[in-house]
Amino acid sequence: MARICIVDDEPIIGVGLKILIGEYSRFSEIDTFTDGESALSNIIANPPDVVLTDIRMPRMDGLELCRHIQQLRLSTKVVVLSGYGDFAYAQKCMSYGVQEYLLKPITEIELFPILDKMLSMREAALISFTHFEQWIDHLEEAIWIMDRVRVDELLEEGKRELFDVDTEIQQHLRVSDAVRLLHKKLNARGAYRIEVKPFVEESTGITITYERFQSEIRSWIQRLSEYRNHERIDVLEAAIQYIDEHLFEDELSLEKVAGKLGLTPTYFSHYFKKHTNETFVQHRMRKRIDRAKQLLAVPHYKIIDIVAEVGYESYPHFTRVFKKATGYSPTEYRGLLGIK
């Protein structure tokens, strides 16, 4: 369920809207405030999904409240409700990211469809933010290992799916968020500190376009390359080496190998499959089965001892995996070799 804040300096209107929205039955919390200042304190402490605010109020009016919400970059959706049918107000509201502007008095016929729209936007924004976080993770890893091909793929994906927004200011805000997150993640690795150019600072008043963002990312890779004497981190080589060294350990997993390389499991899985044409699990199984075949060819080795030596916990599990890979049980395979 969602949460909504109603901000109106006339208590009777606030109570009436609370009752009306209560009948809408899609908000688990409905809070009311009589001025923008007290509402803002609550919004900062616990951002609601929707704010429904009046324009003319004491201490802090609705326009100022909208401006603060925009500056805080909250995912909160804002609807302005006013008795003033002034187009200039509507224009100013929209410049602060307000989604809808409605005139008093209002009924459920006008309000409920707007609330439907706000909640739909909220759900879409949640999905979009999750996608954005995953994209940032993948891009940061590709930058760190200087995989220029993957970086270009991700930048094109971002342009197509995440940064195709309605206004220049929206793109500016999203690109600023991307730069800050990437900068933080890369510098958290500790080996080399990326410095961000001043153009991302809001005090410059310069709008950051996605094209400038792409250029900046490529400059980061160039700086990393110079720092490493143009030697790219060979993730595949490091991964194969680690897998070979720990192949027969029970706890060898995709997550463990990715963690040793400083990558997320999702990115490492994609990278490994792309460069080997097999998944991590397929690679691990193939290598273990190859070793098992070598040991099965040695007559004095007991099959039960081979099971543990090639990294399997139980004889039945090993037998199932071996037969799936070769078409034969371990005993049948030994028989083909003439070993009884």
Q: Are 31 and 5 in contact (CB under 8 A)?
A: yes
Q: Are 54 and 106 in contact (CB under 8 A)?
A: no
Supply the pLDDT for residue 31.
92
Give domain 2-106's CATH superfamily.
Answer: Response regulator (3.40.50.2300)
Instruction: Spell out the domain ranges in the chain.
Output: 2-106, 123-227, 235-336
CA triplet 276, 280, 285: central angle to 5 degrees? 105
3-state SS, 39-98, equals HHHHHHHCCCCEEEECCCCCCCCHHHHHHHHHHCCCCCEEEEEECCCCHHHHHHHHHCCC
Binned at pLDDT 50, 70 and 90, residue 203 comes out as very low
Distances (CA, A) of 142 to 136, 147, 150, 155, 163: 10, 5, 6, 11, 19
Give domain 235-336's CATH superfamily.
Answer: Homeodomain-like (1.10.10.60)
Q: Which residue has the higher pLDDT, 80 or 207?
A: 80
Quote the tokens at residue 13.
């209107």
Average pLDDT, the chain: 82
- 235-336 has the same fold as 2-106: no
Supply the pLDDT for residue 201.
46
R_g (Cα) of the chain, nearest Å:
29
Identify the three-state secondary structure at position 33.
Answer: strand
**Residue reference for tokens 């891009």:** 139
Residues forming beta bridges with residue 6, ordered by sequence position: 32, 52
